[in-house]
Amino acid sequence: MLREVFFFLITSPSGFFCLLFLIMEGETSWFSHSFDDMAREIGEFDSFSELSDEGNKEATAVSVDLILPDDLLERILACLPVASIFRARCVCKRWYEIVSSKRFLWNFSRVLSQKPWYFMFTSSNEPTGYAYDPILRKWYGIELPCIETSNWFIASSCGLVCFMDNDSRTELYVCNPITKTHKKLRDPPGLRFSDYSALAVSVNRKSHGYTISIVKSKQVTGNFFQWDVSVHIYDSETMRWVTTLTEVLTGWRGGDESVICDGVLYFLIYSTGGGAPKNRHGLITYNLSSCPPPGLLIRSFIPVPCPLTCGRLMNLKEKLVMVGGIGKQDRPDIIKGIGIWVLNGKAWQEIARMPHKFFQGFGEFDDVFASSGTDDLIYIQSYGAPALLVFDMSQRHWRWSQKCPVTKRFPLQLFTGFCFEPRLEISP
């Protein structure tokens, strides 16, 4: 029987101390926790299945009903990992009512962010897969709403995930993958069919309002070295799209990598070979509040720290972090390692390089790979295998995830994914 044990030190107003521990026991086969009744209060919950190790389904607690008032029990349960909250709901009628209440969600929203999960797609044709919980080190089977295939554009922030189709690039949804609440957005302005698009979303943790950006890039007709670049911004409060920038870049084009950090939009641009720049990648910064006039975009150019095979941008506690494949000096298109950098002002600071044993652990590693992160965790995944590596920024620690419950069925099968914060209280 697999057990999860949680300890809490409780202090009453009179200074009385009590040590409470909760024991959650569960099975290793797949089982479901349905929040159908709770859905009336906070949105629709579908099945939430867990992969454990053995035994029967059971949840027990140590006589907390005899010693704890509701408000204190709410605060304690709100500190549990999200998956354990689903289990706690099954303990007894009292816990079920507490976890289903709006006041519980308010307490949950005041708890420090949950460690981000990583959703790994297991099919290139269907949006199916498993989500990894780094706290309990378990994989869960969850179904994503709205998205139709795994090749859609995906961005996440503070519990919300934004999906955009990869065909017309006009079909956009914002959803909470845990509660399944979702919203379809109006079609964005600008070119309906662009050569490249980069999607980003930023959620205000206090108001839960959100901003979505799309950077579109299309080659100027008959000129390979010039590209039209436009920036389109959606504000959830006004529910309107605004095109804030349209500009022509020479020798550079946009791509599919962007992120919003502390009110600034960052996106990677790629050399078209016209001016033979030192590196094939560069970074553009765009302040969403000031919106500089046309013609000044390239002046915000920041070179990448070294020749890269690819770069992945992410927001870790409102700091821009880039994970990049380091190219060989004589063959910059061949990957020799993976580095992690933080942008301080306009200078890159190297935080870590993947140890060679982990790099080898992926087996055959492509020059282009999947990586995303938030809070203190960065996930790195090879497109060619379901292996998942986790880097903890605060502890500077590398660690493999638990083995994903999926195997590679054919040589050309591809794997990809994205990370998101598991939140219960936020909805689009």
**Which residues does 142 contact at the CB level (< 8 Å), separation at least 6?**
46, 48, 49, 119, 130, 131, 177, 178
| Res 1 pLDDT > 50 | no
Indicate whether 380 pLDDT > 90: yes
Task: Give me the percent of the chain exceeding a pLDDT of 70.
Answer: 80
Q: What is the pLDDT of residue 50?
A: 54
Confidence check: pLDDT of 382 > 80: yes
Cβ contacts of 306-311, under 8 Å, gap ≥ 24: 306/279, 306/339, 307/279, 307/280, 307/332, 308/279, 308/280, 308/281, 308/332, 309/333, 309/334, 309/335, 309/367, 309/368, 310/367, 310/368, 310/369, 311/257, 311/268, 311/281
Strands 335-344 and 319-327: antiparallel
- Please say if the pLDDT value at position 86 is more than 50: yes
* Per-residue pLDDT, 114: 75
Average pLDDT estimate for 192-206:
91
Instruction: Please choose, from the candidates 121, 122, 59, 124, the residue with its C-alpha nearest in 3D space to the C-alpha of residue 93.
Output: 59
Q: Is residue 33 part of a domain?
A: no
Split at pLDDT 50, 70, 90, the class of 291 is: low
* Mean per-residue pLDDT, 169-185: 92
- Count the neighbouring beta carbons within 10 Å of the beta carbon of residue 188: 25
Rounded distance between C-alpha atoms, residue 83 and residue 371, angstroms = 24
Report which of residues 8 and 254 the model is more confident about.
254
Task: Tell me how far apart the alpha carbons of residues 390 and 385 are, in angstroms, rounded to a whole number.
Answer: 15
Q: What's the token pair of residue 133?
A: 């919980």
Q: Look at residue 2 in the predicted model and tell me its pLDDT.
A: 45
Distance CA 140, CA 405 (A): 9
Q: Which of 215, 230, 211, 108 is nearest to 162 (CA)?
A: 211
Classify the C-alpha dihedral 367-373-377-383 as positive or negative.
Answer: negative
Query: Would you say residue 357 lies in a domain?
Result: yes
Phi and psi of 96, rounded to 5°? Answer: -60, -45
- Give every CB contact of residue 206 below 8 A, 6+ residues apart in sequence: none
Is residue 72 included in any domain, yes or no? no
| Domain assignment present for 299 | yes
Q: What is the pTM of this model?
A: 0.82
What six digits make up the tokens of 87?
């289990």
pLDDT at position 401 is 95
pLDDT at 37: 39
Mean pLDDT of the region 334-362: 93
Q: Is residue 121 part of a domain?
A: yes
pLDDT (average), residues 351-363: 90
Gap between the Cα atoms of 419 and 388, Å rounded: 12
- Whether residue 268 is contained in a domain is answered as yes
The encoded tokens of residue 393 equal 């920024």
Give how many domains the chain has, as a whole number: 1
> What integer is the mean pLDDT of 325-329?
86
Q: Where are the beta strands (DSSP E) in 281-354?
A: 281-287, 302-303, 308-316, 319-327, 335-344, 347-353
CATH of the domain at 144: 2.120.10.80
pLDDT reported for residue 96: 80
Say which DSSP state 76 is in.
H
How confident is residue 327, by pLDDT bands cut at 50, 70 and 90?
confident
Question: What is the pLDDT averaged over residues 411-418?
Answer: 84
What is the DSSP pairing of strand 129-133 with strand 117-121? antiparallel
For residue 399, report the phi and psi dihedrals to the nearest 5 degrees: -160, 135
Q: For residue range 122-156, list pLDDT tens digits in order.
A: 877 778 889 999 988 999 988 898 998 888 999 99
Residue 261 domain-assigned? yes
pLDDT recorded at residue 279: 72
In a domain, 48, yes or no: no
pLDDT digits (tens, 9 = 90+) for 12-64: 444 444 444 454 554 333 233 433 334 333 333 334 455 544 444 444 445 55
Is the separation of the CB atoms in 242 and 232 below 8 Å? yes
d(CA 245, CA 215): 9
Confidence class for position 100, pLDDT limits 50, 70, 90:
confident
Domain that holds residue 170: 117-420
In this predicted structure, what is the pLDDT of residue 101?
79
